[in-house]
Amino acid sequence: MDFLLDGLMQAARLLTGGDAETYSAIMITLQVSTLSMLCSLLIGIPLGFSLGHFEFPGKRPLRTLVDTLMALPTVFIGLLVYAFLTHRGPLGHFGLLFTLPGIAIGQTILALPIVIGLTATAIESLEEKTRVTLLSLGANRRQLFLSSLWEARHGVLSGAIAAYGRVMTEVGISMMVGGNIKWQTRTITTAIALETNKGQFGMGVALGLVLLAIAFGVNLSVSFLRRKT
């Protein structure tokens, strides 16, 4: 167990000493995860509302597809995005491979089904009388959309948190699309994998503690927002 204690002590020194490499991975992770979550929420919440609110032909198979995509392996998404962004792929001329926007594209694809599926579930859980009441009061489409999301806010928020957790902890997309380039595209998870393989257990522990701290902070904020609303 000595190596665990040594790792914790080294982790404390890295975090309190402001180690540049450690904090670079942290900042890159926060940047790319924030960008991917903004994109997935802006796209996924309206799509999830439509899937949960409206009835249309093919809704059931589409819902099954969305639920299936929620469990997509990150390495598979990384492979697909890599194929599209490589210089031989259809999007290669944009130069997005081994960049943060490239990673964000992959992470958006990862988070999108989660946001859509859980938003649809939250909207479907609303009582029918709520929708009828809104329509009887003369609510237009925009008002219906915003009011329904407000009523289902806890479910939508839970979906966003689940997607954020999946994005923060993924490795395959960041490794394959980002290339794990030091100071540029190395995230917390890819740094943990690399440094642990190199025997740098302390840095792996330090970055793991940061992930736990971020998860705790996010969940604490969500609990606070739930009490306020």
pLDDT tens track for 39-68: 999 999 999 999 998 889 999 999 999 999
Measuring CA to CA, which residue among 217, 188, 219, 184 is closest to residue 204? 188
* % residues pLDDT > 70 (the chain): 91
Residue 163 maps to which CATH number?
Answer: 1.10.3720.10
Query: Does the pLDDT value for residue 143 go beyond 70?
Result: yes
Measuring CA to CA, which residue among 188, 213, 166, 174 is closest to residue 37? 166
Q: Which amino acid is present at 83?
A: A
What number is the average pLDDT over the span 59-87? 94
Measuring CA to CA, which residue among 17, 13, 30, 2 is closest to residue 187? 30
- Res 201: pLDDT: 76
CA-to-CA distance for 120 and 54, rounded, in angstroms?
A: 10
Best-predicted range by mean pLDDT among 103-107, 132-136, 140-144?
103-107
Express each pLDDT in 205-226 by its tens digit.
Answer: 888 888 888 888 887 887 776 7
- Res 194: pLDDT: 87
Query: Does the pLDDT value for residue 126 go beyond 90?
Result: no
Is residue 18 situated within a structural domain? no
What number is the average pLDDT over the span 109-133? 86
Measuring CA to CA, which residue among 2, 4, 1 is closest to residue 196? 4
Query: Which are the contacts of 48, defined by CB distance < 8 A and separation ≥ 6?
Result: 115, 116, 117, 118, 119, 120, 122, 123, 156, 159
Is residue 14 situated within a structural domain? no
Is residue 13 situated within a structural domain? no
- Res 132: pLDDT: 66
Is residue 119 situated within a structural domain? yes
Query: Does the pLDDT value for residue 34 go beyond 70?
Result: yes
CA-to-CA distance for 79 and 92, rounded, in angstroms?
A: 14
Is residue 1 situated within a structural domain? no
Of the listed ranges 121-125, 126-130, 142-146, 159-163, the least confidently predicted one is 126-130
Of the listed ranges 108-117, 186-195, 216-225, the least confidently predicted one is 216-225
- Res 128: pLDDT: 64
What is the torsion angle, in degrees rounded to the nearest 10, for the CA atoms of residue 210, residue 212, residue 213 and residue 216?
160
Tell me how many degrees the CA angle 22-23-24 measures, rounded to the nearest 5: 90
| Number of structural domains in the chain | 1
- Res 51: pLDDT: 94
Is residue 204 situated within a structural domain? yes
Q: Range of 82's domain?
A: 23-52+63-228
Query: Does the pLDDT value for residue 172 go beyond 90?
Result: yes
CA-to-CA distance for 27 and 32, rounded, in angstroms?
A: 9
Is residue 105 situated within a structural domain? yes
Is residue 8 situated within a structural domain? no
- Res 209: pLDDT: 85
Query: Does the pLDDT value for residue 229 go beyond 80?
Result: no
Query: Does the pLDDT value for residue 182 go beyond 60?
Result: yes
pTM assigned to the model: 0.90
Q: What is the mean pLDDT of the chain?
A: 88
Alpha-carbon distances, residue 131 vs 115, 137, 141, 150 (angstroms): 21, 10, 11, 12
